[in-house]
């Protein structure tokens, strides 16, 4: 079989984009890497903070044992995020939302950079680090509106402690969001998987769902992942360089 030359890959994809009815994109930490947001696993390193692996500090068990420590970790992460701007991958995906009859953007990221780039109605599977949620009544509030010296912050609605509004290891996804994402995945005809190691479920099941329903599956990632095998096309490269090349 003749090896596909690079330019042909891009032209083929542009052609698919031009005729797509419903484009679905799933993003992970890699889409924000070029913005300066550290990934969790990319490159083989595990993020460790104060001697704790991220899946220990970011866990339901830690929340139950030491809520202020979980706040300290997310305050630290927001401190990093505060310096980060959306990159060309985020802005390309934001432009795509008005380029097709239907477009769905699903992210595992909690950094808010898709919205900062102008994306609307992003399905945030793992919540958002810029939001707090009351442990008592469920009231949600932008963390920037809360007293930064009060950890944990106290809910203005009921006086209970608040927590970061993110999904921690050992927790369920927010009600309905995965179901909505899975339904849309099953209705798309072109699915992009960008910057995710594709090992955290149930998010990683979405591309397979799209594939099962007959969508053409494209992966953009400098490294192979467990999904690579079922993809119709894998583009080994950086999201911020590859996605703008697909403008059609
Ligand atoms: P990971 O850190 O597991 O994987 C990041 C992926 O991005 C890797 O496959 C890298 O090869 C790839 N990558 C790195 N730089 C890239 C670039 N510039 N362009 C494209 N790809 C790049 O992050 P996720 O897959 O998002 O969950 O992790 C999934 C979930 O695990 C996270 O949402 C988080 C974490 O635990 C929770 O916190 C619940």
**245 C-alpha vs ligand 1 centroid, how far in Å?**
21
Query: Which ligand 1 atom minimizes the distance to the CA of 108?
Result: 33
Catalytic residue, chosen from 83, 90, 126, 145, is 126
**161 C-alpha vs ligand 1 centroid, how far in Å?**
30
pLDDT score recorded for residue 228: 96
Query: Which ligand 1 atom minimizes the distance to the CA of 40?
Result: 2
**42 C-alpha vs ligand 1 centroid, how far in Å?**
6
Topology annotation, domain 1-37+85-126+172-248: Rossmann fold (3.40.50)
Active site residue 126: yes
Closest CA to 132 of 115, 116, 144: 144
Say how far apart CA 142 and CA 217 lie, in whole Å.
Answer: 35
pTM: 0.94
C-beta 127 within 6 A of ligand 1: no
pLDDT score recorded for residue 42: 53
C-beta 60 within 6 A of ligand 1: no
Mean pLDDT by 10 residues, the chain (248 residues): 66 96 98 92 62 90 96 94 96 98 98 98 98 98 96 96 97 94 98 95 96 98 96 97 94
Residues of the chain with CATH 3.40.50.1220: 1-37+85-126+172-248
Say how far apart CA 86 and CA 179 lie, in whole Å.
Answer: 27
pLDDT score recorded for residue 140: 97
The crossing angle, in degrees rounded to 10, of helices 205-212 and 177-185 is 30
C-beta 87 within 6 A of ligand 1: no
pLDDT score recorded for residue 203: 95
Query: Which ligand 1 atom minimizes the distance to the CA of 58?
Result: 38
C-beta 202 within 6 A of ligand 1: no
Topology annotation, domain 41-83+128-166: SIR2/SIRT2 'Small Domain' (3.30.1600)
pLDDT score recorded for residue 44: 40
Residues of the chain with CATH 3.30.1600.10: 41-83+128-166
**136 C-alpha vs ligand 1 centroid, how far in Å?**
32
Instruction: Yes or no: say if 169 and 196 are a contact pair by the CB < 8 Å rule.
Output: no
pLDDT score recorded for residue 45: 43
Say how far apart CA 206 and CA 64 lie, in whole Å.
Answer: 30
Length, in residues, of the chain: 248
């Amino acid at each position: 079989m003749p090896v596909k030359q690079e330019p042909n890959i891009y032209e083929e994809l542009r052609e698919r984009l031009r005729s797509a009815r419903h484009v679905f994109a799933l993003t992970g930490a890699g889409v924000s890497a070029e913005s300066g947001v550290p990934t969790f696993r990319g490159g083989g390193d595990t993020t460790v903070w104060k001697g704790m692996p991220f899946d220990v500090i970011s866990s339901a068990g830690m929340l139950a044992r030491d809520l202020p420590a979980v706040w300290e970790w997310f305050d630290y992460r927001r401190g990093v995020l505060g310096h980060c701007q959306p990159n060309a991958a985020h802005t390309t995906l934001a432009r795509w939302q008005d380029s097709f009859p239907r477009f769905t953007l699903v992210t595992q990221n909690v950094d808010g950079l898709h919205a900062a780039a102008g994306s609307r109605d992003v399905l945030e599977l793992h919540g958002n680090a810029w939001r707090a949620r009351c442990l008592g009544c469920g009231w949600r509030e932008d963390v920037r509106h809360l007293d930064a010296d009060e950890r944990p912050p106290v809910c203005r609605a009921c006086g209970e402690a608040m927590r970061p509004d993110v999904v921690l290891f050992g927790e369920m996804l927010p009600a309905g969001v995965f179901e909505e994402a899975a339904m849309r995945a099953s209705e798309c005809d072109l699915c992009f998987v960008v910057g995710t190691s594709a090992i955290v479920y149930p998010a990683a099941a979405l591309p397979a769902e799209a594939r099962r329903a007959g969508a053409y599956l494209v992966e953009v990632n400098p490294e192979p992942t467990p999904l690579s095998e079922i993809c119709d096309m894998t583009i080994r490269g950086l999201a911020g360089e590859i996605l703008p090349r697909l403008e059609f």
